[in-house]
Amino acid sequence: MSLTNTVCRLAARPVGLPKPSDWEIVDEAAPSPADGQFLVKVSYISVDPAMRTWMNAGRSYVPPVEIGEVMRAGGIGRVIETRHPDFAVGDEVYGVFGVQRYALSDGRDVTAVDTTLAAAPVHLGALGISGLTAYFGLLDVGRPQPGQTVVVSGAAGSVGSIAGQIARIKGCKAIGIAGGHDKCSWLVEELGFDAAIDYKAGDLRTQLKTHAPNGIDIFFDNVGGRTLEAGLARLARGARIVICGAVSQYNAAEELRGPANYMQLLVARASMTGFVIFDYADRYGEAVVHLAGWLRSGELQSREQVVHGDVGDFPDTLLALFGGQNTGKLVLALDGGAR
């Protein structure tokens, strides 16, 4: 078959927020599968804060996207042509297919998607990497106990919103930090957080003191910077800080700085631990069983903010993420301009 593939390639390494000249959107012939390969028509692209770190040169937990390469992204699509014995035409699959309309795969790290269990975008959110990150970050790294106080920064995002709900499910007091009245209301009224702090409304340290008078047992951090410093200032003895991300720092034009008050870890006899979700790959199935069960029972709510467009809409969609315009999981649906 003769198909035109629209592709988003990294054209330059951004300084600060990505700008239009950092991307190249091109049309080219779609690849054809060889023996042991299959072709996927991508339907949904996961838009994640970590994408910004993948665009930088230097050492990270995954190799950087090279200049001229297709932008890395997880996605869900349908197999439309196959020469692979384990994948049939019509299969719905998840993989790191990149920001493009058609992707060639040999099946490594590609998994089937059961859309009878939940709609495809949920498999990028609560049942995807976002849910897995929240699950293992909170339960394995944070080690919550009933009655403890869990504070989640970036709580209205894809990972934070799930981490706070798991804390509630596990019998903890869940406090979210988010930006704006609407997001904070959503956390409390729909997701069941015990409290939500609007960091835009005033002094964060004072608000944390009000809502966590006995200190923070687990601080699940997605933001870094001053938000992390505020959490460090309110630690209970033996607290655990889970370093999931640092979205406030990803677009910094200057070198990142560590928290100025890190010695609070010593005072509180606390720990601060980073983790990478890919290290838990052999346990993904365990997490999905629990996450799916909580979704079925209604204990866990999932929200996907789906932007409808095409590959060329990816740069602006990514900027919306860093502008705080999303609530829950941000997904780009490729339902425009398909050929």
pLDDT per residue as tens digits for the range 108-125 = 999 999 988 899 999 999
The pTM (predicted TM-score) of the whole model is 0.94
Q: Is pLDDT above 80 for 256?
A: no
**Residue 256 resides in a domain:** yes
Q: Quick one: pLDDT at residue 338?
A: 39
**Residue 319 resides in a domain:** yes
CB 94 within 8 A of CB 123: yes
Q: Quick one: pLDDT at residue 339?
A: 36
Round to whole Å and give the CA distance between 2 and 78.
17
Name the more confident of 60 and 13.
Answer: 13
336 pLDDT tier (thresholds 50, 70, 90): low
Q: What is the pLDDT of residues 62-104, one digit of tens each?
A: 999 999 999 999 999 999 999 999 999 999 999 999 999 999 9
Name the more confident of 237 and 1.
Answer: 237
177 in the same domain as 75: no
107 in the same domain as 136: no
180 in the same domain as 111: no
204 in the same domain as 73: no
**Residue 292 resides in a domain:** no
- CATH number for the domain harbouring residue 260: 3.40.50.720
Q: What is the pLDDT of residues 171-206, one digit of tens each?
A: 999 999 999 999 999 999 999 999 999 999 989 999
Round to whole Å and give the CA distance between 285 and 102.
27
Mean pLDDT for the stretch of residues 287-297: 96
CB 216 within 8 A of CB 151: yes
Range of the domain at 185: 129-279
> DSSP assignment of 228-251, as one string?
HHHHHTTEEEEEEEEE---TTTTT
Mean pLDDT for the stretch of residues 48-70: 92
237 in the same domain as 162: yes
134 in the same domain as 271: yes
Round to whole Å and give the CA distance between 50 and 58.
14
Of the three residues 264, 279, 294, the one that is the final residue of a domain is 279
326 in the same domain as 252: no
103 in the same domain as 32: yes
Q: What is the pLDDT of residues 190-246, one digit of tens each?
A: 999 999 999 999 899 999 999 999 999 999 999 999 999 999 999 999 999 999 999
Four-point Cα dihedral 28, 306, 79, 62, nearest 10: 70
Round to whole Å and give the CA distance between 201 and 179.
8
Q: Please give the order of strands across the beta sheet that includes 195-198.
A: 195-198, 173-178, 149-153, 216-221, 235-243, 271-274
**Residue 289 resides in a domain:** no
30 in the same domain as 87: yes
- CATH number for the domain harbouring residue 96: 3.90.180.10
Residues 6+ apart with CB under 8 A from 72: 51, 54, 62, 65, 96, 98, 99
Q: Quick one: pLDDT at residue 117?
A: 86
**Residue 191 resides in a domain:** yes
89 in the same domain as 60: yes
**Residue 284 resides in a domain:** no
Q: Quick one: pLDDT at residue 171?
A: 98
105 in the same domain as 33: yes
Q: Quick one: pLDDT at residue 61?
A: 86
The number of domains in the chain is: 2
147 in the same domain as 267: yes
Arithmetic mean of pLDDT over the chain? 95
